[in-house]
Amino acid sequence: MCDTIVALGNVTADGATLFGKNSDREPNEAHHVVIIPAADHAPGRRVQCTYIEIPQVAHTYRVLLAKPFWIWGAEMGANEHGVVIGNEAVFTKIPYGKTPGLIGMDLLRLALERANTARAALDVITQLLAQYGQSGNCGFRHPTYYHNSFLIADPHDAWVLETADKHWAAERVKDIRTISNGLTIGNQFDLASPDLVAYAVERGWCKGRDDFHFARCYSDFLFTRFSRSRARQCRTTDALAAQRGKITIETMLRALRDHSDNARWSPARGIASFDVCAHAGWGPIRGTQTTGSLVSHLTPTAQTHFITATAAPCTSIFKPVWLDAGVPNMNEPTPTGEYDPATLFWRHESLHRATLRDYATCLALYRDERDALEQRFIADALACREQPLEERIACSVRAFAQADEAEKRWTERVAVRAGTEYPGWLYASAWRRFDREAKMTGNR
């Protein structure tokens, strides 16, 4: 489950387009942030995606990918032209293809590598859908199949693209828009696949264009309902709407960290609750959690991205990166599904999982420091976003180093208070299993 949000410049405080996403995956499915350089490709070359090869294009753009470590594509990312995309799993009445093919994350990366505007990225994805469709396992330890929706933005424009197999509808964003794990486009859309309505009529989902409603006709009821996609989309929409005209990066961070208005909220409670800032627990509904988050500040002259590269944005620090400046921890080993303190993702897991053992008490030990550090990172990054490359590299390197040092201090502080056990029998059972599978027991 995931959530993706955007606010165009006509409703933000400084006129920039702001984009954000939480990537929700299995707890041990390490999140990896990488920059792929631009490249020229000889005629006839092919590109190996997660499962299949397809023809390569003559030139691919430089891209920032925030991705599950084992997948070729990405759940979110950006390119050198300021195009950003996030994808969402959506559940439809059309059977999911299980034959290895292009998955939604592959479509996202291919669009970033090949498109210089949001609208061009939409065209890349829909053309690939028409040619190849979408199919294949998208799960790490547990096979998972679904279709995809996308929120696509650039400094000037944004689009929602929702798909059901090869069928799709697209809506141009006017100011604020959020998506979650359900189809949201109704009877009004700006673009659509040629047979979108006819396919629904043939199957008796509607009688014609007059009563056609994309989400109502194509959505699968059961999985869409249990994903709580409508409730989460309402939370993110309300969070942005409340700040309409003065939306900032901080607004986006708060939206991605949202749990609920319940003062007694705890990640240890419930077997079916699923918030924007998602925490895994017991059972199939809570088998995933937010493993990485991204917020992008987009203007025509500068695009600044803030990434966690770590799980649970409520326990993480957003740090600035620029595509031409690199990601400071890129020289670390690629994280895998097992604990490795040489990687940023797994170093943070020591803090994250200790916090989960007494969430409210432990988070309070470092939340204010997290916010103060993040405020400084944001201010520094925006101040130098149009400065020479050397200054931006230094800004990013400094932020990553300071964040790493801070998390080491917090981990030591939390370890003293957290104890060794997770609360609640079902919650503790789930997290003890996650720790065993990650070979993390005894390595916290």
Catalytic positions are: 2
Pull the structure tokens for residue 376.
Answer: 């400084």
SS3 233: helix
Phi, psi of 106 (to 5 degrees): -65, -45
C-alpha 137/C-alpha 145 separation (Å) is 5
Could you give the 3-state DSSP secondary structure of residue 39? strand
Q: Is the dihedral of CA 377, 21, 110, 51 positive or negative?
A: positive
Distance CA 19, CA 62 (A): 19
Do 216 and 259 contact (CB within 8 A), yes or no? no
Rg for the chain, CA atoms, rounded: 21
Q: Is the dihedral of CA 144, 147, 151, 153 positive or negative?
A: positive
Nearest-5° Cα angle at 20, 298 to 257 = 140
At 388, the amino acid letter reads P
Candidates 368, 382, 252; CA nearest to 308 is: 252
Interior angle at CA 248, CA 243 and CA 254, nearest 5: 75
Q: Nearest 5°: phi and psi at 135?
A: -165, 160
Q: Please, how many CA atoms are within 13 Å of residue 131, restricted to the half-sphere of its CB?
A: 10
Task: Specify whether the CB–CB gap between 217 and 206 falls below 8 A.
Answer: yes
CA 375 to chain centre: 22
Tell me the residue length of the chain. Answer: 444
